[in-house]
Amino acid sequence: PVVHGMLVMATLGEGCFRWVPEAELERFTIKFVASTPVGEGLSLVARTRLEDPESGLVILDVAAIGADDQSIRATAEVRLRRV
């Protein structure tokens, strides 16, 4: 059996919020690349593609990587709240 892709997507989204709890996730686009077998461990990774300090917008390339390669690739647009 495989894990439902929406569960892996939600895990990626949660990872973005754990990175910066005060951030607002504005857009989250996703591409399912491969299935994830039940019980397989995943590593969540992110790379900053764009950061605009003036507007607080940060665009991340994120992925859930399983044993066979990437299960999901996503782009997250995060806006940091001004304090």
| Residue range 24-64, pLDDT digits in tens | 888 888 888 888 888 888 888 888 899 898 888 888 888 88
Tokens of 81: 């709240």
Question: Cα 66 vs. chain centroid, distance in angstroms?
Answer: 14
Tell me which DSSP letter residue 81 carries.
P
Mean pLDDT for the chain?
82
- Output the pLDDT for position 9: 85
Binned at pLDDT 50, 70 and 90, residue 70 comes out as: low
Closest CA to 36 of 73, 8, 75, 74: 8
The model carries a pTM of: 0.74
Per-residue pLDDT for 77 more than 80?
yes
Length of the chain: 83
Handedness of CA 29, 33, 34, 39 (dihedral sign): negative
- Output the pLDDT for position 82: 56
